[in-house]
Amino acid sequence: MKVEIVNEIICPECQSDFSIKVKKKQKEEIIEGQLICTKKHRFPIIGGIPRLVSDKQKDFIKTEDAFSSKWRNFNKTYHNKKWADGQRKWFLERFGWKTLSKFKSFLNTRTRVLDAGTGVGNSAKLFSLNPNAQVFAIDASESIEFAYRKFGKSQNIHFLQADIRKLPFKKNFFDFICSDQVLHHTKDTESSFKMLTRLLKKGGLISIYVYRKKGPMREFADDFIRQSTVKMTEKQCMEFSKDMTLLGKNLSQLKKKITIPRDIPLLEIKAGTYDVQRFFYWNFLKCWWSPDVPFEQSVATNYDWYFPKFAYRHTEKQVRKWFKDVKLKIVHFNEIESGYSVNGKK
């Protein structure tokens, strides 16, 4: 934790200011210590990271445990340069920036950025391209350890372990907030989104991606399977996720196409020609596999769907209403089979 941010954050419990007690320091970095608010709430700084999740915040523990186990098992895969570059390209396409240079130009107009659910920190690194902006990257899971280990030396990135629904920031603090592939894993997607918008200053931009509700057969299968998988042990769900990955791989290796001659409205299946594996995946059962990433990463993709307690899907109508409710103007709306990527301006 960098010394200067003690004046930038507030107590997530009572919104009062912090003072700091330093136990171990390396140059300007606080490695061990304690944050103490004016009402005596105390939060430790451990391994250079402020730990701002209180003991009272129990409702998301199962989901955060799921993601902690994912990052413990797969952090090296997600720091792989080829994968990170691919994710960056996908991010730029989905949110309408198209090229890195256009996104850099946007970032140069921002001063405070919130990466709400940073995972292993690749997104925080991307957002730090403007050296004059301060990036606050939060995650409640153990991924914050791997993010800090990889990018903690960056001068304008601050990693904090915190709950997205109880953040240590004042209202109207940020001029860019991004929560990509995260909000649908919180206790309530809509209210979590609205909580984030309170932190956005006038003229600021918020970017979110949430899962799209699929057709009825896929939705039924997801709900039915997750009733069991969320109750599994980490090891059991990991093995199940491997089975789903192998199923997806073997379907893909058929190298077959299927043609649907007419729309099937009741099942929300559109006419067209599809790869068998993708047709099966999008319409009936999540069995992700891709030849473009290591096998373990496909396992991780299935695992982070089947194991977390919270994994909600939404309709376009719902998402648009959230923005309307908080008087944010939608300036970009992208729909793909998996979800919605939306930019809204305050």
138 contacts 162 by C-beta, under 8 angstroms: yes
Q: Residue 60 in contact with residue 45, Cβ under 8 Å?
A: no
Instruction: Provide the sign of the torsion angle of the four alpha carbons 309, 221, 265, 278, taken in this order.
Output: positive
Nearest CA-CA partner of 179 in 216, 151, 145, 140:
140
> Which residues, including other chains, have CB under 8 Å from residue 116's CB and lie 6 or more apart?
138, 164, 167, 177, 178, 179, 182, 196
Split at pLDDT 50, 70, 90, the class of 267 is: very high
pLDDT digits (tens, 9 = 90+) for 193-233: 999 999 999 999 999 999 999 999 999 999 999 999 999 99
Using the structure block, give the residue that is written with the tokens 């997750």.
226
Report pLDDT digits (tens) over 334-343.
999 999 999 9
Q: How confident is the model at residue 62 (pLDDT cuts 50, 70, 90)?
A: low
Assess contact for 53 and 167: CB atoms under 8 A. Answer: no
Task: State residue 81's pLDDT score.
Answer: 76
- The first and second tokens of residue 45, run together, are 């700084």
**pLDDT tens digits, 313-335:** 999 999 999 999 999 999 999 99
Quote the pLDDT of residue 318: 98
Mean pLDDT of all residues belonging to the chain: 92
Say whether pLDDT at 60 is over 60.
no
Whole-model pTM?
0.92
| Domains along the chain with CATH numbers | 1-51 (no CATH), 56-212+314-345 (3.40.50.150), 216-306 (no CATH)
The tokens describing 162, both together, are 């915190």
Q: What phi and psi values does residue 109 have, to the nearest 5 degrees?
A: -100, 0
